[in-house]
Homo-oligomer: A and B are copies of this chain.
Protein backbone atom coordinates (compact mmCIF):
# COMPACT_ATOMS: atom_id res chain seq x y z
CA UNK A 1 0.00 0.00 0.00
CA UNK A 2 3.11 2.19 0.11
CA UNK A 3 2.43 3.15 -3.48
CA UNK A 4 -0.82 4.87 -2.48
CA UNK A 5 0.93 6.82 0.26
CA UNK A 6 3.58 7.99 -2.19
CA UNK A 7 0.97 8.84 -4.84
CA UNK A 8 -1.07 10.66 -2.22
CA UNK A 9 1.91 12.75 -1.15
CA UNK A 10 2.85 13.56 -4.72
CA UNK A 11 -0.70 14.63 -5.55
CA UNK A 12 -0.78 16.73 -2.40
CA UNK A 13 2.34 18.60 -3.47
CA UNK A 14 0.97 19.12 -7.01
CA UNK A 15 -2.39 20.28 -5.65
CA UNK A 16 -0.74 22.69 -3.22
CA UNK A 17 1.31 24.12 -6.10
CA UNK A 18 -1.71 24.80 -8.30
CA UNK A 19 -3.79 26.08 -5.38
CA UNK A 20 -1.00 28.58 -4.70
CA UNK A 21 -0.90 29.57 -8.37
CA UNK A 22 -4.66 29.92 -8.60
CA UNK A 23 -5.20 31.98 -5.46
CA UNK A 24 -2.20 34.29 -5.70
CA UNK A 25 -2.55 37.84 -6.90
CA UNK A 26 -0.60 38.37 -10.06
CA UNK A 27 1.68 41.30 -10.59
CA UNK A 28 3.58 41.68 -13.80
CA UNK A 29 6.03 44.15 -15.20
CA UNK A 30 6.72 43.98 -18.92
CA UNK A 31 8.79 41.01 -20.01
CA UNK A 32 11.92 42.01 -21.91
CA UNK A 33 10.80 41.45 -25.49
CA UNK A 34 7.06 41.89 -25.19
CA UNK A 35 5.25 44.20 -27.58
CA UNK A 36 2.47 46.19 -25.91
CA UNK A 37 0.11 48.51 -27.74
CA UNK A 38 -3.03 50.58 -27.44
CA UNK A 39 -5.25 50.55 -30.53
CA UNK A 40 -7.70 53.47 -30.56
CA UNK A 41 -10.51 52.82 -32.98
CA UNK A 42 -13.52 54.87 -34.09
CA UNK A 43 -16.24 52.69 -35.54
CA UNK A 44 -19.23 53.66 -37.68
CA UNK A 45 -21.95 53.79 -34.97
CA UNK A 46 -24.50 52.19 -37.30
CA UNK A 47 -22.27 49.12 -37.69
CA UNK A 48 -21.11 48.90 -34.07
CA UNK A 49 -22.78 45.55 -33.30
CA UNK A 50 -21.30 43.87 -36.36
CA UNK A 51 -17.90 45.35 -35.56
CA UNK A 52 -18.03 44.06 -31.97
CA UNK A 53 -18.87 40.53 -33.13
CA UNK A 54 -15.92 40.53 -35.55
CA UNK A 55 -13.56 41.97 -32.91
CA UNK A 56 -14.49 39.39 -30.26
CA UNK A 57 -14.02 36.56 -32.74
CA UNK A 58 -10.58 37.87 -33.73
CA UNK A 59 -9.46 38.33 -30.12
CA UNK A 60 -10.54 34.95 -28.79
CA UNK A 61 -9.26 33.06 -31.85
CA UNK A 62 -5.84 34.75 -31.75
CA UNK A 63 -5.32 34.09 -28.02
CA UNK A 64 -6.49 30.49 -28.44
CA UNK A 65 -4.43 29.47 -31.48
CA UNK A 66 -1.38 31.77 -31.51
CA UNK A 67 1.31 31.06 -28.89
CA UNK A 68 2.61 34.64 -29.10
CA UNK A 69 -0.71 36.47 -28.65
CA UNK A 70 -0.88 36.88 -24.88
CA UNK A 71 -3.56 39.38 -23.84
CA UNK A 72 -6.34 41.58 -25.23
CA UNK A 73 -8.65 43.93 -23.33
CA UNK A 74 -11.19 45.79 -25.47
CA UNK A 75 -13.23 48.61 -23.94
CA UNK A 76 -15.77 51.11 -25.29
CA UNK A 77 -16.31 54.63 -23.93
CA UNK A 78 -19.61 54.79 -22.07
CA UNK A 79 -20.36 58.25 -23.46
CA UNK A 80 -19.59 57.15 -27.02
CA UNK A 81 -19.45 53.35 -27.46
CA UNK A 82 -18.20 53.78 -31.04
CA UNK A 83 -14.89 54.90 -29.49
CA UNK A 84 -13.02 51.68 -28.70
CA UNK A 85 -9.63 51.14 -27.04
CA UNK A 86 -7.81 47.80 -27.17
CA UNK A 87 -4.83 46.90 -24.98
CA UNK A 88 -2.77 44.28 -26.83
CA UNK A 89 0.17 42.26 -25.50
CA UNK A 90 2.29 40.07 -27.78
CA UNK A 91 5.27 37.89 -26.77
CA UNK A 92 7.52 39.91 -29.13
CA UNK A 93 7.40 41.75 -32.45
CA UNK A 94 7.93 38.47 -34.34
CA UNK A 95 4.71 37.14 -32.76
CA UNK A 96 2.90 40.29 -33.89
CA UNK A 97 4.23 39.94 -37.45
CA UNK A 98 3.02 36.32 -37.53
CA UNK A 99 -0.34 37.45 -36.12
CA UNK A 100 -1.13 39.91 -38.91
CA UNK A 101 -0.51 37.18 -41.48
CA UNK A 102 -2.97 34.69 -39.95
CA UNK A 103 -6.24 33.83 -41.75
CA UNK A 104 -8.36 34.96 -38.76
CA UNK A 105 -6.67 38.39 -38.60
CA UNK A 106 -6.94 38.89 -42.36
CA UNK A 107 -10.60 37.86 -42.20
CA UNK A 108 -11.19 40.41 -39.40
CA UNK A 109 -9.48 43.21 -41.36
CA UNK A 110 -11.52 42.40 -44.46
CA UNK A 111 -14.77 42.21 -42.45
CA UNK A 112 -14.29 45.56 -40.69
CA UNK A 113 -12.67 47.61 -43.46
CA UNK A 114 -15.86 49.61 -44.08
CA UNK A 115 -16.79 49.78 -40.36
CA UNK A 116 -13.63 51.45 -39.03
CA UNK A 117 -13.57 55.23 -39.45
CA UNK A 118 -10.14 55.77 -37.87
CA UNK A 119 -7.40 53.71 -36.27
CA UNK A 120 -4.56 55.04 -34.12
CA UNK A 121 -1.87 52.60 -32.95
CA UNK A 122 0.14 53.72 -29.92
CA UNK A 123 3.19 51.70 -28.88
CA UNK A 124 3.42 51.60 -25.11
CA UNK A 125 5.49 50.11 -22.31
CA UNK A 126 3.79 48.09 -19.59
CA UNK A 127 4.65 49.87 -16.34
CA UNK A 128 2.93 47.27 -14.19
CA UNK A 129 -0.11 45.02 -14.07
CA UNK A 130 -1.86 43.57 -11.05
CA UNK A 131 -4.94 41.40 -10.92
CA UNK A 132 -6.91 39.06 -8.74
CA UNK A 133 -6.55 35.34 -9.51
CA UNK A 134 -8.76 34.26 -12.38
CA UNK A 135 -9.05 37.78 -13.76
Contact = CB atoms under 8 A, between A and B. Distances in A.
B4 A131 contact: no
Contacts of A131: 63, 70-72, 89
* Copies of the chain in the assembly: 2
Interface residues of A, number: 56
A72 B129 contact: yes
A122 B81 CA distance: 12
A112 interface: no
A74 B128 contact: yes
B25 A78 contact: no
A46 interface: no
A131 B126 CA distance: 15
Contacts of A27: 59-60, 63
Contact of A71 (B12, B76, B127, B135): B135
Interface in A1-57: 1, 4-5, 7-8, 11-12, 14-15, 18-19, 21-22, 25-28, 36, 38, 52, 55-56
Contact of A63 (B7, B12, B25, B36): B25
Nearest to A67: B132
Given A36-B75, A76-B125, A76-B127, 6 more contacts: A22-B22, A59-B130, A71-B131, A75-B125, A75-B126, A87-B87
